[in-house]
Structure 1
Amino acid sequence: MDNVRLVEVGPRDGLQNEKRPLSVADRVQMIEGLIEAGLTTIEAGSVVSPKWVPQMEGSTEVLSSVGHREGITLQMLVPNFRGFEAARDAGAEEIAIFASASESFSQKNINCSIAESFDRFLPVMEGARNAGMRVRGYVSCVLGCPYEGPVALSSVVAVASRLHAFGCYEVSLGDTIGIGTPRAAATMVRAVAAEIPVSSIALHEHNTYGQALANILACLEEGVSVFDSSVGGLGGCPYAKGATGNVATEELVFMLDGMGIKTGVDLPKLARVAVETAAKLGRDPVSPISRILAAS
């Protein structure tokens, strides 16, 4: 495989668990820096209640401020039809919906069962079709749940397949608590790929136990070519105690560059975004690569 596509989730999944919210202006600057570094698919934010996720307040303003860019996809995560309408009115061209492979996590995260979550998706999918918007699907807890522990592979396959059947052009398989290991990740991807095209599968790895890059490599060898990552290793999950950040985009780019796989990302520019964003959050980037490259 010569090329992969990275989905930068830092401005949404990366920031939603940080104690210090960034202003709309700071988030716009962050996204501008990511675009300048060569990233072309970016989660700009999510339309959720600021009561529950205050870090995402003003996401529609962020999207409107960045505006349409040729060749750039700015994605908005929406939990329901009201969120879809707000994203549409702000100019979103792509939205994302999220489901869980774990019943317990579904209840804790979005206060409904897996079946009920799909009922909520119906009007969103219809609205997106009418508006000519693409929809990306997320599946959480594909390799383990903070409440249930192991998650049945059959549940992962069922949820991913249903999202694809609903019309999601791509389904991102999320190791929400970062508990997976390479063989388990590859087995999971293989099972999902038996039901939907591997070209429609993405991987979303958290690095809680330091396994993210190893898992990505294992799934790359299974034919997956789309990977979610977060600049500076920002992130976590507010509903999964102890879950650390997403795999750092700069670490992933460094690995792929070393393998001769093209990402189109300028690593020093990306490192500067990581360092600048972390400073605004009052913390250091998770990845030492960022500090090394940003100083060079």
Structure 2
Amino acid sequence: MSQANELLLPARATICEVAPRDGFQAEKEWIPTEQKVRIVRELAKTGIRYMEITSFVHPKAIPQLKDAEEVVRQVQDLPGIHFRALVPNVKGAQRAIDAGLKKLKLMLSATDSHSLANANCRVEEALEGLYPIVELAAKHGVQVGGSISVAFGCPYEGNVPVERIMHIVERYQAMGVNEVSLADTTGMANPKQVYEMLGQLKAHFPQITFSMHLHNTRGMALANAVAALQQGITHFDSSVAGLGGCPYAPGATGNIATEDLVHAFAEMGVETGINLDAIINVAKDVRETLGHDGGSYMLQAGPCSQLHRKPQGQVKLET
């Protein structure tokens, strides 16, 4: 194959496991704290080094995460794991910092409609509310990353112009935030859109590290991940067993499954440092613990390396 026709991809990608936050928050039945901690500890054995451990939201908003402090406290001894938490406001940020976390992720929507549903305010008002969080984090020496929900399509407003995303990234940059997660919250993105938007964003903001947070609502998440790889993006969020979903996005299903992403990247020669067999086993455990998965091809079919016994003799075809 000539170099002109070769698909050039990064040699390595970093995956952040978000099931302890995005996955668990979508579960209606209470997951006991000890079960959450056990799953986090099992995930830590797979080679995962980055995890979104919880969200410090009001317990009435997401009762499933009311044990955020306790979960964080019980996993602080895990070596080599970089934890972050989603925080909606200053109070949540202070709780996260008091719990000992060294990285926060900000919550912001790309459209007013989703922002009103998710945060009860419009985008500009939500942006203004992020400054005190960034200032508080800086005071305590805590890192901050930004996020943009419904970045590729809003279930209420449809297509999101790239100019709006650029405006939000500019505001993040002005705050001193140099990491921005682009979330396809309802799985409305397509590979062409992802490739083109990332190209424009990278050209305008060369100092910003962009990451992808992909939901598989319409079966496009993996294709969108490959499009991002082609743009040189190397940071991705995923959720073991495909857990997840946004309570403020009608019809939203789970994130791209971690085991599916690890498998696909490995097949394409992109190293993640995560052991595929180990993460599949954790996915099986999570499915057994919760009684379901969120949509995982590895749990359904297994990896490509899992071959079957060859048929013996002639096979009679049905007519």
TM-score band by shorter chain is over 0.9
Which ranges of structure 2 fall in alignment gaps of 5 or more residues?
1-9, 307-319
C-alpha contact 2:108 2:115 (8 A) present in aligned 1: yes
Deviation for aligned residue 1:173:
0.2
Which ranges of structure 1 fall in alignment gaps of 5 or more residues?
none
1:172 to 178, 181, 191: 181
Amino acid at match of 1:45: T
- Residue 143 of structure 1 is matched in structure 2 by 152
- Residue 63 of structure 1 is matched in structure 2 by 72
Amino acid at match of 1:210: G
Distance 1:247 1:168 in 2: 26
In the alignment, does 2:159 pair up with 1:162? no
- Residue 251 of structure 1 is matched in structure 2 by 260
In the alignment, does 2:125 pair up with 1:131? no
C-alpha contact 2:41 2:78 (8 A) present in aligned 1: no
TM-score by length of 2: 0.89
Distance 1:258 1:97 in 2: 33
Larger radius of gyration: 2
- Residue 48 of structure 2 is matched in structure 1 by 39
In the alignment, does 2:204 pair up with 1:183? no
- Residue 224 of structure 1 is matched in structure 2 by 233
Distance 2:103 2:268 in 1: 31
Q: Determine what percentage of the aligned residue pairs are the same residue.
A: 39
2:201 to 174, 179, 192: 192
Distance 1:290 1:169 in 2: 36
- Residue 201 of structure 1 is matched in structure 2 by 210
Give the match's secondary structure for 2:107.
Answer: strand
Deviation for aligned residue 1:126:
0.7
Q: 1:276 to 1:189 in 2, by over 3 A?
A: same
Distance 2:207 2:218 in 1: 26
Distance 2:117 2:49 in 1: 32
- Residue 20 of structure 2 is matched in structure 1 by 11
1:24 to 30, 33, 49: 33
Amino acid at match of 1:88: I
TM-score by length of 1: 0.95
Distance 2:193 2:286 in 1: 33
RMSD: 1.6
Give the match's secondary structure for 1:146.
Answer: coil
- Residue 247 of structure 2 is matched in structure 1 by 238
- Residue 130 of structure 2 is matched in structure 1 by 121
Aligned length in residues:
295
Distance 2:12 2:25 in 1: 29
- Residue 213 of structure 1 is matched in structure 2 by 222
Distance 1:27 1:283 in 2: 15
Distance 2:107 2:217 in 1: 21
Distance 1:198 1:255 in 2: 28
C-alpha contact 1:206 1:245 (8 A) present in aligned 2: yes
Structure 1 stretches of at least 4 aligned residues deviating more than 2 Å after TM superposition: 68-71, 290-294
Amino acid at match of 2:285: E
Deviation for aligned residue 1:68:
4.7
Deviation for aligned residue 1:160:
2.2
2:81 to 64, 68, 72: 72
C-alpha contact 2:110 2:160 (8 A) present in aligned 1: yes
Q: 1:236 to 1:156 in 2, by over 3 A?
A: same
